[in-house]
Amino acid sequence: KQGVFTYDPAFTATCSCTSDITFIDGENGILMYRGYPVDQLAEKSSFLEVCYLLLNGELPNAPEMDEFRDAITHHTMLNESLVKFYDGFHYDAHPMAMLTGIVGSLSAFYHDTTDVNNPEHREIFARRMIAKMPTIAAAAYKHSIGQPKIGPKNHLDYASNFLRMCFAVPAEEYEIDPVAAKALDVLFILHADHEQNASTSTVRMAGSTGANPYAAISTGIAALWGPAHGGANEAVLNMLSQIGDVSQVGKYVEKAKDKDDPFRLMGFGHRVYKNFDPRATIIRGYCHEILEHFGMQNNKLFELALELERIALEDDYFIERKLYPNVDFYSGIIYQALGIPINMFTPMFAIARTVGWAAHWSEMMADPGMRIARPRQVYTGYELRDYINIDKR
Ligand code: SDX
């Protein structure tokens, strides 16, 4: 049944909206997409099936899944004039900068998604965005390494297509590793949506003005880039490399507790989870399997991460503040094992979260009672005063 959850009025007073899409119980570490627990979806579903679920509210039957998969498959290519936009970026531009610019420029291309009040326009927008994000991200990676961009292949699944667009080169055949593709598909499922996080709220805020949906998605990419949000997955790997050795973990845990020290344990803490982030638990378990598959059992950074978690979770500072590893703490270990460079970790998050952004935008725009977002403030400035001419100042 829907809508059976009851809330403390003090909590609902803090809420910016209602939504049927995702449920988080931060105290008990529960995450559900349309009522289905994320651990079951990670184990039994596929990212594209989860996309259908998040967008439509129900799991698809076989004909619905075939139609959806076919629609996504036939929207994966980029307009050649859009591909030229990459040439405007310096080779060392951060891929998230390219994603923000390229996705925003999609708003100049399509006229079959301009009527945000038309359900058909909303559906084609969501499908096109989900389909194109891997191609856009892979092209950004190719641009950053000076290699020719590789287009999508329609016979490949979503994750395999992305891996091939990143790592294939014209000079050689590229062989898909099914274990790598499955691991990526699971990570995409785990990152697909997370109710009103900063980037999703940003997309809703921008979309509430009636703005072009592609432009609204580009605001979500910008928000996700921050190290306090999706940028944390990149920051975790840089932090682990900075710590360098298990012997240094205690020193950095103490630094993270020092209010005068800007150092924070990246990948730790969460505004909502005051218990384990269920996604972190699943990803940590997957690390063992993936590292073994790639013969990286003694991965130094993973050992560092495990030791960091062990020490922090025994420390009163972290226990009192209910600081646990979040989704970003272990994900980079798997991305790195798959050969994905650190500066592409947050684009991975963006690829997955595109469906969450699109689902929340669509849900909001379908609401006849939707009004422009307009947060208020507590004013702490001057009281009324008269202008003083510069010769009197
Ligand atoms: C994501 O919202 C979402 O759902 C996001 C996300 C999603 O799927 O969309 O889950 C994805 O963004 C996960 C979070 C990734 N960010 C990081 O890992 C960056 C490191 N974490 C922190 O910056 C922080 O924990 C946040 C940003 C995640 C949460 O910030 P809050 O809720 O504002 O927590 P806070 O800053 O108020 O911290 C409470 C206390 C403070 O100490 P006191 O002032 O009470 O003494 O805990 C401390 C903080 O100093 N603290 C940390 C810490 N995180 C919080 N101390 C050391 N290391 C940390 N990581």
d(CA 219, CA 204) in angstroms, rounded, equals: 10
Question: Is 270 one of the annotated active-site residues of the chain?
Answer: yes
Nearest CA to ligand 1 atom 48: 321
Residue type, 242: Q
Whether 319 is in the pocket of ligand 1, judged by its Cβ within 6 Å, is no
What is the residue-level pLDDT of the chain in tens, covering all 393 positions?
788 888 888 988 888 889 999 999 999 999 999 999 999 999 999 999 999 999 999 999 999 999 999 999 999 999 999 999 999 999 899 999 999 999 999 999 998 888 999 999 999 999 999 999 999 999 999 999 999 999 999 999 999 999 999 999 999 999 999 999 999 999 999 999 999 999 999 999 999 999 999 999 999 999 999 999 999 999 999 999 999 999 999 999 999 999 999 999 999 999 999 989 999 999 999 999 999 999 998 899 999 999 999 999 999 999 999 999 999 999 999 999 999 999 999 999 999 999 999 999 999 999 999 999 999 999 999 999 999 999 999
Dihedral sign from CA coordinates of 64, 192, 29, 314: positive
CA–centroid distance, residue 253 to ligand 1 (Å)? 15
**CB-based contacts of 157-164 (< 8 A; 24+ apart in sequence):** 157/46, 157/48, 157/181, 157/185, 158/46, 158/47, 158/48, 158/72, 158/134, 158/185, 158/188, 159/47, 159/184, 159/185, 159/188, 161/76, 161/134, 162/134, 162/137, 162/138, 162/351, 163/338
Report DSSP state, residue 266: T
- Give the residue from 355, 308, 352 showing the smallest Cα distance to 330: 308
| Known active-site residue 328 | yes
Q: Coil, helix or strand for 324?
A: coil
**Site to substitute for ligand 1 among 271, 276, 279, 282, most atoms within 8 A of C-beta:** 271
Q: Whose CA is nearest to atom 8 of ligand 1?
A: 194
Stated as kind and residue range, the H or E segment containing 23 is strand 22-25
Distance CA 343, CA 41 (A): 28
Contact 260, 301 (CB under 8 A): no
Distance CA 129, CA 213 (A): 10
Cα 191 to ligand 1 centroid, rounded to whole Å: 17
Q: Is 267 left (phi over 0), alpha (psi -120 to 50) or beta?
A: left
User: What is the value of ipTM here, to two decimals?
Assistant: 0.95
Ligand 1 nearest-atom number relative to CA 236: 18
Residues pairing with 30 in the sheet: 25
Structure tokens at 149: 């961009």
Instruction: Pick the residue whose CA is nearest to atom 53 on ligand 1.
Output: 269
Kindly state if the Cβ of 197 falls inside 6 Å of ligand 1.
yes
- 121, 143, 194, 270: the catalytic one is 270
pLDDT tens, 7-24? 888 988 888 889 999 999
Cα–Cα distances in angstroms (integers) from residue 345 to residues 14, 158, 236, 315, in the given order:
32, 17, 10, 29
DSSP annotation of 37 reads E
Ligand 1 atom with the smallest distance to the CA of 268 is 60
* Centroid of ligand 1 to alpha carbon of 47 (angstroms): 27
Is residue 60 within 8 A of residue 52, CB to CB? The reply is: yes
Distance 226 CA to ligand 1 centre (A): 12
DSSP per-residue string spanning 145-197: TTPPP----TTS-HHHHHHHHHH--TTS-----HHHHHHHHHHHHHTS--SS-
Q: Where do we find the tokens 């990149």? A: 234
Whether the CB-CB separation of 27 and 9 falls below 8 Å is answered with no
Residue 266 in contact with ligand 1 by CB distance below 6 A = yes
Residue 270 alpha carbon to ligand 1 centre in Å:
5
How does pLDDT run across 102-122, given as a tens digit for each residue? 999 999 999 888 899 999 999
Give the model's pLDDT for residue 6.
85
Q: Give the closest residue (by CA) to ligand 1 atom 16.
A: 228
Query: 232 CB less than 6 Å from ligand 1?
Result: yes
Provide DSSP, 91-120: TTS-HHHHHHHHHHHGGGT-SSS--TT-HH
Ligand 1 pocket member 253 (CB < 6 A): no
Interval between CA 5 and ligand 1 midpoint (Å): 26
Residue nearest atom 2 in ligand 1 by C-alpha distance: 197
> Is the C-beta atom of 288 inside 6 A of ligand 1?
no
- pTM, rounded to two decimals: 0.96
User: For 272, phi and psi rounded to 5 degrees?
Assistant: -105, -45
